[in-house]
Amino acid sequence: MSTTVVKSDGAPRRGSISLSGKRRGSGTEKMDTHIASWHTRTHLHEDNPHAREEDLKKLLERYTKTFTITPQRLKMITDNFVGVLEKGLEEPEQTVPMLPAYVFGWPTGEEVGSYLALDLGGTNLRVCHVVLKGKGKFEVTQSKFRLTEEQKQQEGQLLFDFCAECLNTFIIDHFGDANGDVILEEEIALGFTFSYPMQQDAIDHGKLIRWTKGFGNPNTEGRDCAAMFRQSLEKFKVPIKMTSLINDTTGTLIASNYVRQDTRIACIFGTGCNAAYMEHIGNIPKIKSLGLPDDEDMAINCEYGAFDSFTHEHMAEVRTKYDEYIDLHSNKPHEQTYEKMIAGLYLGEIFRLVMCEMVDEGSLFLGQNTYKIEKPYSFDTAFLSLIESDPTEELLTVTGLFTHFFGLDTTIVERKFFRELAKLIGTRAARLSSCGIAALVIKMGYLEEGCGVGADGSLYSKYPGFADRLHQALVDIFGEKGKKIVTYQAEDGSGVGSAIIAAMTKARKEAGKYAHV
Ligand code: BGC
């Protein structure tokens, strides 16, 4: 089967920012469009004064203080987190909204059939054909389409049009005959994974509460995204019925449990961050009026990336000026506070802001042209992974990274400093990430027995040491018992999970169970 892949057009990012006005070492040269060549060396460049070892040592002490979170602080944040989660279940429209997902109970593992899944995440749009084979087995064929910066800001309906078009292309490629005509023997249900906070009152409706992860498409917040998507399906005459609308964490929860039954919680640590878990309906006071049975379970999409938004009271002691800067210069100031401190979209930016501060203070890249590094979001979080995992003694990968992408010379002392700084920022993210999981564990009483936590997202799967650091933080919070809370690489929630949920929903509706939701 062929797949279609559309690549990013590398759309320009927003304008340049500075922590404190004009920076030393910055020039006025025009941006090069060609890729720079570079060389490596072990000796200092005679012309440009490089950072002195003693100065970097002092700076490292300063940043260590800034980014280190003690076990005691982790415990305090976790305790507050528990209260916030409970409040979200009690009352509607809370900062951490604890959204009922209308997915009832765990899968049996015997769900079978052929499904389509559409996954609108933070970075890509994916279309998947999933064949569930029962006994936790499945097969997936997928196509990925990179979203451009422009698509994340254009009129909302156009974004859904793009989703429908990609889906149509996929269906024609995979189910069409030689003329491109699509004849489906039986209707294939589509599960739509829409990974943003949605207020749902049924499995196939979802009102977007707010955009996250840098999206800003107008005329979408407050509207039913399922209805908008259906309108696009009609426009392109896509012969498919969307039966469920889910969040990526809910999909991950179900997909992980499908293959590993001790899974109780699922998390995403990627461009954004969030978690889902299974709650007893009786413990969700805010939906009491629906008259659903108290003793059954429903998945909750916590949307806890919003923890500490607006008031910034629970993490005030650990929130830095870099976090605040990122927040205030984002398209959604004061929102997603927790997410902005730990998610993949932001870690590279935190690192970059620290470097810019050092340039401002005259301790880094003196005499070099720093305009490339001054560009907001130019330092990808993947660079932190690279810096932390450079296997060479001279940190040659780091050398190459700075010369190739930023035209900057570095010394071994500076490169070692960068590695420590990446470690600090990456470790803080992993440790803070543990608080949300720990809060759910406390809330649900999972500590004694222990539980599996399915985790996914680029940070979790690609950032070196992320899982180990997170596990260490769980031990810091719970002591030895923390070892019973084990995170593991989850199955593809947005694809496979979405298909399983489509299958569960179909079975539920056929059985006439809560057919109205
Ligand atoms: C969104 C969540 C999503 C998470 C991970 C957050 O920004 O609000 O809905 O689950 O990112 O993709």
pLDDT tens-digit profile of 72-98?
Answer: 999 999 999 999 999 999 999 999 999
Can you tell me which atom of ligand 1 is nearest the CA of 249? 10
> Would you say residue 42 has pLDDT above 60?
no
What is the distance in A from the centroid of ligand 1 to the CA of 341? 14
- 107 Cβ inside 6 Å of ligand 1: no
Query: For 187-229, how does the pLDDT look when each residue is reduced to its tens digit (9 = 90+)?
Result: 889 999 999 999 999 999 999 999 999 999 999 999 999 999 9
Q: By three-state DSSP, how is residue 172 classified? A: helix
Q: 514, 277, 320, 293: which is closest to 432 by C-alpha?
A: 320
- 97 Cβ inside 6 Å of ligand 1: no
When the pLDDT of each residue in the chain is averaged and rounded to a whole number, the result is 90
Q: 511, 517, 3, 497: which is closest to 257 by C-alpha?
A: 497
Q: Whose CA is nearest to atom 7 of ligand 1?
A: 272
Query: For 410-456, how does the pLDDT look when each residue is reduced to its tens digit (9 = 90+)?
Result: 999 999 999 999 999 999 999 999 999 999 999 999 999 999 999 99
Q: Alpha helices, DSSP H only, in 147-300?
A: 156-175, 225-235, 248-259
What is the distance in A from the centroid of ligand 1 to the CA of 15? 25
Q: What is the mean pLDDT of residues 251-259?
A: 95
- 304 Cβ inside 6 Å of ligand 1: no
Q: Which of 133-137, 378-382, 419-423 has the least mean pLDDT?
A: 133-137
What is the distance in A from the centroid of ligand 1 to the CA of 197? 7
pLDDT-derived band at 47, boundaries 50, 70, 90: low
- 251 Cβ inside 6 Å of ligand 1: no
- 303 Cβ inside 6 Å of ligand 1: yes
- What per-residue confidence (pLDDT) applies to 180? 77
> Would you say residue 156 has pLDDT above 50?
yes
**DSSP one-letter string for 120-163:** E-SSEEEEEEEEEEETTEEEEEEEEEEPPTTTTTS-HHHHHHHH
Task: Provide, rounded to the nearest whole percent, the portion of the chain with pLDDT above 90.
Answer: 84
- 122 Cβ inside 6 Å of ligand 1: yes
Q: What is the mean pLDDT of residues 230-256?
A: 95
pLDDT-derived band at 20, boundaries 50, 70, 90: very low
Greater confidence (18 vs 66) lies with: 66
What is the distance in A from the centroid of ligand 1 to the CA of 121? 8
Q: Which of 41-50, 297-306, 381-390 has the least mean pLDDT?
A: 41-50
pLDDT-derived band at 500, boundaries 50, 70, 90: very high
Can you tell me which atom of ligand 1 is nearest the CA of 248? 10
- What per-residue confidence (pLDDT) applies to 8? 26
> Would you say residue 4 has pLDDT above 80?
no
- What per-residue confidence (pLDDT) applies to 46? 52
Q: What is the mean pLDDT of residues 373-384?
A: 98
Tell me which residues are annotated as active site.
195, 210, 248
- What per-residue confidence (pLDDT) applies to 2? 31
- 196 Cβ inside 6 Å of ligand 1: yes
Sequence-distant (≥ 6) Cβ neighbours of residue 514 within 8 angstroms: 104, 292, 508
Q: What is the mean pLDDT of residues 357-383?
A: 96
DSSP one-letter code for 410: -
- 268 Cβ inside 6 Å of ligand 1: yes
> Would you say residue 26 has pLDDT above 60?
no
Can you tell me which atom of ligand 1 is nearest the CA of 198? 9
To test ligand 1's pocket by mutation, which of 250, 274, 300 has the most ligand atoms within 8 angstroms of CB? 274
**Helix 71-90, helix 412-444: angle, nearest 10:** 50
Name 306's bridge partners.
Answer: none
Query: For 337-349, how does the pLDDT look when each residue is reduced to its tens digit (9 = 90+)?
Result: 999 999 999 999 9
pLDDT-derived band at 354, boundaries 50, 70, 90: very high
Greater confidence (462 vs 188) lies with: 462
Q: What is the mean pLDDT of residues 167-191?
A: 87
- 195 Cβ inside 6 Å of ligand 1: yes
> Would you say residue 12 has pLDDT above 80?
no
Can you tell me which atom of ligand 1 is nearest the CA of 276? 10
Q: 267, 286, 204: which is closest to 432 by C-alpha?
A: 267
Q: How far apart are CA 401 and CA 404, in angstroms?
A: 5
- 100 Cβ inside 6 Å of ligand 1: no
> Would you say residue 181 has pLDDT above 90?
no
Q: 29, 8, 1, 91: which is closest to 372 by C-alpha?
A: 29
Which residue in the block uniquely carries the two structure tokens 């694809």?
Answer: 495
- What per-residue confidence (pLDDT) applies to 50? 87
> Would you say residue 243 has pLDDT above 60?
yes
- What per-residue confidence (pLDDT) applies to 15? 30
To test ligand 1's pocket by mutation, which of 209, 268, 271, 492 has the most ligand atoms within 8 angstroms of CB? 268
Q: 97, 70, 102: which is closest to 515 by C-alpha?
A: 102
- 494 Cβ inside 6 Å of ligand 1: no
Q: How far apart are CA 270 and CA 461, in angstroms?
A: 9
Greater confidence (19 vs 467) lies with: 467
Q: What is the pTM assigned to this prediction?
A: 0.90
What is the distance in A from the centroid of ligand 1 to the CA of 31? 34
pLDDT-derived band at 122, boundaries 50, 70, 90: confident
> Would you say residue 385 has pLDDT above 70?
yes
Query: For 268-320, how does the pLDDT look when each residue is reduced to its tens digit (9 = 90+)?
Result: 999 999 999 999 999 999 999 999 999 999 999 999 999 999 999 999 999 99
Q: Whose CA is nearest to atom 12 of ligand 1?
A: 272
To test ligand 1's pocket by mutation, which of 124, 152, 193, 213 has the most ligand atoms within 8 angstroms of CB? 213
- What per-residue confidence (pLDDT) applies to 460? 98
CA dist 318 to 19, 63, 138, 340, Å? 19, 12, 43, 13
Q: Whose CA is nearest to atom 11 of ligand 1?
A: 272
Sequence-distant (≥ 6) Cβ neighbours of residue 250 within 8 angstroms: 101, 103, 266, 276, 299, 301, 493, 497, 501
- What per-residue confidence (pLDDT) applies to 186? 78
What is the distance in A from the centroid of ligand 1 to the CA of 249? 8
